[in-house]
Chains A and B, each alone.
Chain A
Amino acid sequence: MARKLPAKDVVIIGLGWTGSILAYELAKTGLNVVAIERGPWRDTATDFPPAYAQDELRYAVRLDLFLRPEQQTLTFRNNASQTAMPIRSFSGFLPGNGVGGAGIHWNGQTWRFLPTDFQLRSHLEERYGKDALPADMTIQDWPVSYDELEPYYDRFEKLCGTSGKAGNIRGQKQAGGNPFEGWRSSEYPTPPLKQGLGATLFAEAARKTGHSPFPQPASNLSQAYVNPLGVKLGQCTYCGFCERFGCGNYAKASPQTCVLPALLRFPNFSAQTESEVTKINLDSTGKRATGVTYVDTSGEEWEQPADIVLMCAFSFFNVQLMLLSGIGKPYDPQTGQGVVGRNYAYQTTSSVSVILKDKILNPFIATGAHGMIIDDYNGDNFDHTGLGFVGGGYMGFGQTGARPIQTRPVPKGTPKWGAEWKKATAETYQRACSLATHASSYSYKDCYLDLDPTYKDRFGRPLLRMTFDFHDNELMMSAYLTDRLADIAKAMDPVEITASPRKGPYDSTIYQTTHNTGGTVMGADPATSVLNRYCQSWDVHNVFVPGGASVFPQNHGYNPTDTVGALAYWAADAIRTRYLKNPGPLV
């Protein structure tokens, strides 16, 4: 029997990027806000100080900052004919854990989606005809436009202090920036990071082959910065330990470095850590949430009543909690009816590894978002006529470091161990680099999330089940993009290149990315979306999923965090300026 706590105005499930932004924005209005976080409190100086933050074994190999499957996991299968099995060791993707969430271990790559991405289906059908899209592809337009979201992208980038070079300021093309990007209301808050030799050589080759390279936008800061909340960030040291690591230098944007110091000053905000929300409680009508139930580390069950429930967990766990709480109609892949769990999507990545002659690249001088990129083959930036696929991605030199355990490039044919391997490692390390493509993953009728019929979590609740595989559209796209990237790599005067386009089936044991999207998608039509354009549940008006990647109707050719942050501010504004005045459905 849960013990009932005093009511709050707002309960937030998960204290990562969206949770901390929403908490700040709503605490600022005077509301009483409590955030309930499954994992521990995390603090820069005590949890990942520079004295040991760069411990590759601890953080990158043993995955210290990530969710433990013993605490919560999901099951996986490629298609409905298989039996899904539990993921007992996260490896293909890595859900974060604890205060800060994925905002701690991310690379800092801070991309906006393209304006046409927000009208994906209507744009593609208009340009290529209705028959151009596969019948089982379930992509749809976003319920918000790029123009509507632009001010919120701007706010999130200013929160982070993102370093970069604009390519389009209010419609004016800017030399040195991304010529394909949507308009920006202002230049990046801080200038681009300095580029290393590898990125410089890639940029030269890209220019030579007729492309438009630009520095990757990074929330690993090129210089110290004070954000609009008054919080100060430091300058990146290019240590090359971002991905899977916390930043000990206050240089990578995270809830810790950007929001929490200001948030914690509000006496009307509190956080309950190491407590897992097991259910969102509904009243007898099922149309209004009364709060949440959570379990602490002692196994004690608590009921936290609240007027507004914000689902700010990692994408999978928003979907699972919605299904377990009976909010929205679960998706049925047979009929295509129902919405919760629908349109799960991922990211289609590939690589081209390059070994150069006589170069000293010092690849360890790096950041998680450090390199020269081209966007010529992203989204619908290029004509897809006759290519047999839609979608695309960015590509370039974006090596996030060259950490000693996991970065051991060797020429083809080198033995996997022994003296020859050691010799090849020593000879190759300084002149090898990895180029990558990072591309879209459109949604399909048979890619979805539901509750597993067999496996249960430690509370006896069904695990979430993922059914996902790459489709021909994505594999053809990856082959095309990887070829284009290999063409540029050839212009770098390599001694060896190895192109590895993405191949099916999807393998959940090989790390590709943690950009898991969809399942609680936002849309204009309740028949094909869980949330309306303000990230509000169509069914339970005081439940919002304010911007996590689970709201994406499909995934585009960019990293999700900038859009997640923009949507968090967009949803926060809707709650502050519309919902609080007149609680009820906003659409």
Chain B
Amino acid sequence: MRRPLTTAVLFFGLIGTAFAQDTQSFDRIERGRYLAVLGDCAGCHTAPGGAPFAGGLALQTPFGTLVAPNITPDPDTGIGNMTNGEFLTVMHEGRGHNGKRLYPAMPYPAYTKMTDDDVLAMRAYFATVAPVSNRVVSNQLPFPFNVRLAMAFWNGLNFTLGRYQPNPQKSAEWNRGAYIVEGPAHCGTCHTPKTFLGGDKNSVALTGATLQGWFAPDITNDPRKGIGGWSKDDLVQYLKTGTNKWTLASGPMAEAVTHSTSRMSDEDILAIATYLKDSGEGGASAKPEPVAASNNAMRAGAAIYKDSCAACHRDSGEGEIHLFPRLAGSALAQSDDPTTLARVVLHGTRAVATAGAPTAPAMPAFDWRLDDTQVAAVLTYIRNSWGNAAGSVSASSVASQRATLAKTP
């Protein structure tokens, strides 16, 4: 995918002519395919091992289970009968066939920023994929959340309709990055903190949020909690290969890298990096005092670390580039919410494999070997060693993570 940046920017001005375009032109279908990559549509709408876009991936939300529908052109079970206008309404307003209200697991609060022309290009692409007959019951939420009308109320509180408005003070590259991050790539769906109703807290956009048992980290330029310590090139490498000198993508981000970021064009990845490195520092935070090394949890944690972690992550916490994530100076290790940390220690995780970094090393599970107090101690140690400083992790928070993990496979 090599598309001149100027062309990409031009699309902002082309909305009026969108409907006049040939929906079967190669350029348009190919652009739609690429937009589906930017939007990571396959991440939800293609079940692991399933037919492309035939639906079926269950999303665990705080409100219950939603299953991504079939978006192949099958007329009965897919979107073959949907008009272009209906497709625009889905993407921009979160209203499906016959005005049925969608849940924002479908990230229409982000897709509403996409141009009509981009949305219709996606539509042109989806019309070309193999139709698959697969009936999906999307709404598996319990009462009262299964009442779709409630979303009218939710939208009133949490949803702002409207296309992306370029910032004329910034470069075309910055604007392209902003458009991708806020629009198709819907980064905030995971990385922006949520209100109790699940809406985005846009005042603290991209400062990190917990979902599906993972903490999606702060991706603002905050030097301590965010990606302030990463160079633009670090960020580009991470999005392209799933790893850089700091860390390796795993969990939901591994899926996003596999289906989406590793397949983006170099220009678009650079645009995203340009935007994120220039998107403020979130809630610029004062560095807390580290927990004293003499603290009992720290002392126990140091012994556990030496025994169970140092072989890979090293005594210095430096790890090994592209193999074992660096813990010293790691923003994720020091994040306020230790959900991911507890999760990977308890259950382990596997890094993403990409063409540029095929190794896919994995963190083994320690749940059978370390009790809650021990996991809390070693995490407290990791969060407060080698210059790191972050709050202690409590055994009770590890216990609740353990209980949650036991319930979800």
Question: What residues make up the interface of A, taking CB atoms closer than 8 Å to B?
Answer: 43-46, 49-52, 224, 226, 229-235, 237, 239, 248-250, 261-262, 264-265
Residues of B within 8 A of A234 (CB): 312, 320, 323-324
Residues of B within 8 A of A232 (CB): 320, 322-323, 357, 359, 361
Binary contact track B340-371/A, C-beta < 8 Å → 1, others 0 = 00000000101001011111111111100100
Contact among A49, A237, A261 for B360, CB-based, below 8 A: A261
Q: How far is A550 from B348 in the complex, measured between Cα atoms in Å?
A: 40
Asked, given contacts A249-B311, A261-B358, A261-B359, whether A45 binds B322 with beta carbons under 8 Å apart, the answer is: no
Other than A230-B359, A250-B361, give 19 A-B pairs with Cβ distance below 8 A.
A45-B350, A45-B361, A46-B364, A49-B348, A49-B365, A50-B311, A50-B364, A52-B369, A224-B323, A231-B359, A232-B320, A232-B322, A232-B361, A234-B320, A234-B323, A248-B311, A248-B364, A261-B353, A265-B355
Most buried by B among A45, A52, A226, A261: A45
Residues of A within 8 A of B360 (CB): 261
Residues of B within 8 A of A261 (CB): 353, 358-360
Tell whether, in the assembled complex, residue B364 and residue A45 are in contact, meaning their CB atoms are under 8 Å apart. Answer: yes
Q: Which 6 A-B pairs have the closest CB atoms?
A: A49-B364, A45-B362, A261-B358, A232-B359, A45-B364, A237-B311
Q: How far is A226 from B366 in the complex, measured between Cα atoms in Å?
A: 28
Tell whether, in the assembled complex, residue A250 and residue B350 are in contact, meaning their CB atoms are under 8 Å apart. Answer: no
Q: How far is A341 from B323 in the complex, measured between Cα atoms in Å?
A: 44
Residues of B within 8 A of A52 (CB): 369
* Nearest CB in chain B to that of A50: its residue: B311
* Nearest CB in chain B to that of A233: its residue: B323
Tell whether, in the assembled complex, residue B361 and residue A235 are in contact, meaning their CB atoms are under 8 Å apart. Answer: no
* Nearest CB in chain A to that of B322: its residue: A232
Q: How far is A262 from B360 in the complex, measured between Cα atoms in Å?
A: 10
Chain B interface, number of residues (Cβ within 8 angstroms): 24
Tell whether, in the assembled complex, residue B358 and residue A231 are in contact, meaning their CB atoms are under 8 Å apart. Answer: yes
Residues of A within 8 A of B308 (CB): 50-51
Most buried by A among B320, B356, B369: B320
User: Does B292 belong to the interface (CB within 8 Å)?
Assistant: no
For residue A524, give the distance in angstroms from its CB to the closest CB of chain B: 40
Tell whether, in the assembled complex, residue B363 and residue A45 are in contact, meaning their CB atoms are under 8 Å apart. Answer: yes
Q: How far is A265 from B362 in the complex, measured between Cα atoms in Å?
A: 17
User: Does B321 belong to the interface (CB within 8 Å)?
Assistant: yes
Tell whether, in the assembled complex, residue A250 and residue B323 are in contact, meaning their CB atoms are under 8 Å apart. Answer: yes
Tell whether, in the assembled complex, residue B358 and residue A265 are in contact, meaning their CB atoms are under 8 Å apart. Answer: yes
Q: List 12 A-B contacts (CB under 8 A).
A: A46-B364, A49-B348, A52-B369, A224-B320, A232-B320, A232-B357, A232-B359, A232-B361, A233-B323, A234-B320, A234-B323, A262-B358
Q: How far is A233 from B312 in the complex, measured between Cα atoms in Å?
A: 11
For residue B303, give the distance in angstroms from its CB to the closest CB of chain A: 15
Residues of B within 8 A of A50 (CB): 308, 311-312, 364
Residues of A within 8 A of B363 (CB): 45
* Nearest CB in chain B to that of A262: its residue: B358
* Nearest CB in chain B to that of A239: its residue: B311
Asked, given contacts A50-B311, A232-B323, A234-B320, whether A265 binds B364 with beta carbons under 8 Å apart, the answer is: no
Residues of A within 8 A of B369 (CB): 51-52
Q: How far is A239 from B312 in the complex, measured between Cα atoms in Å?
A: 12
Count of chain A to chain B residue pairs whose CB atoms are closer than 8 Å in the complex:
66
For residue B33, give the distance in angstroms from its CB to the closest CB of chain A: 19
For residue B265, give the distance in angstroms from its CB to the closest CB of chain A: 21
Tell whether, in the assembled complex, residue A51 and residue B353 are in contact, meaning their CB atoms are under 8 Å apart. Answer: no
* Nearest CB in chain B to that of A54: its residue: B311
From 362 to 409 in chain B, residues with beta carbon under 8 angstroms from any chain A beta carbon are: 362-366, 369
Q: How far is A231 from B311 in the complex, measured between Cα atoms in Å?
A: 19
For residue B321, give the distance in angstroms from its CB to the closest CB of chain A: 7
* Nearest CB in chain A to that of B349: its residue: A45
Most buried by B among A51, A231, A249: A51
Residues of B within 8 A of A224 (CB): 320-321, 323
Q: How far is A43 from B364 in the complex, measured between Cα atoms in Å?
A: 11
Tell whether, in the assembled complex, residue A45 and residue B356 are in contact, meaning their CB atoms are under 8 Å apart. Answer: no
Most buried by A among B311, B320, B365: B311
For residue B74, give the distance in angstroms from its CB to the closest CB of chain A: 25
Residues of A within 8 A of B366 (CB): 51
For residue A93, give the distance in angstroms from its CB to the closest CB of chain B: 30
Binary contact track B168-200/A, C-beta < 8 Å → 1, others 0 = 000000000000000000000000000000000
Residues of A within 8 A of B350 (CB): 45
Contact among A44, A229, A235, A265 for B320, CB-based, below 8 A: A235
* Nearest CB in chain B to that of A235: its residue: B320
Q: How far is A45 from B355 in the complex, measured between Cα atoms in Å?
A: 21
Tell whether, in the assembled complex, residue B311 and residue A265 are in contact, meaning their CB atoms are under 8 Å apart. Answer: no
Residues of A within 8 A of B324 (CB): 234
For residue A132, give the distance in angstroms from its CB to the closest CB of chain B: 51
Residues of B within 8 A of A264 (CB): 353
Tell whether, in the assembled complex, residue B358 and residue A230 are in contact, meaning their CB atoms are under 8 Å apart. Answer: yes
Asked, given contacts A231-B358, A261-B353, A262-B358, whether A45 binds B348 with beta carbons under 8 Å apart, the answer is: yes
Most buried by B among A234, A235, A237, A249: A234
Tell whether, in the assembled complex, residue B362 and residue A46 are in contact, meaning their CB atoms are under 8 Å apart. Answer: yes
Most buried by A among B321, B361, B362, B365: B361
Q: How far is A226 from B357 in the complex, measured between Cα atoms in Å?
A: 10
Q: How far is A187 from B333 in the complex, measured between Cα atoms in Å?
A: 39
Tell whether, in the assembled complex, residue A265 and residue B353 are in contact, meaning their CB atoms are under 8 Å apart. Answer: yes
Residues of B within 8 A of A262 (CB): 358
Q: How far is A248 from B364 in the complex, measured between Cα atoms in Å?
A: 9
Tell whether, in the assembled complex, residue B348 and residue A229 are in contact, meaning their CB atoms are under 8 Å apart. Answer: no
Q: How far is A51 from B350 in the complex, measured between Cα atoms in Å?
A: 16
Residues of A within 8 A of B348 (CB): 45, 49
Asked, given contacts A224-B323, A234-B324, A249-B311, whether A229 binds B364 with beta carbons under 8 Å apart, the answer is: no
* Nearest CB in chain B to that of A52: its residue: B369
Q: How far is A235 from B364 in the complex, measured between Cα atoms in Å?
A: 18
Residues of A within 8 A of B359 (CB): 230-232, 250, 261
* Nearest CB in chain B to that of A45: its residue: B362
From 153 to 170 in chain B, residues with beta carbon under 8 angstroms from any chain A beta carbon are: none
Q: How far is A45 from B353 in the complex, measured between Cα atoms in Å?
A: 15
Residues of A within 8 A of B364 (CB): 45-46, 49-51, 248
Tell whether, in the assembled complex, residue B362 and residue A44 are in contact, meaning their CB atoms are under 8 Å apart. Answer: yes
Tell whether, in the assembled complex, residue A229 and residue B323 are in contact, meaning their CB atoms are under 8 Å apart. Answer: no
Binary contact track B46-90/A, C-beta < 8 Å → 1, others 0 = 000000000000000000000000000000000000000000000
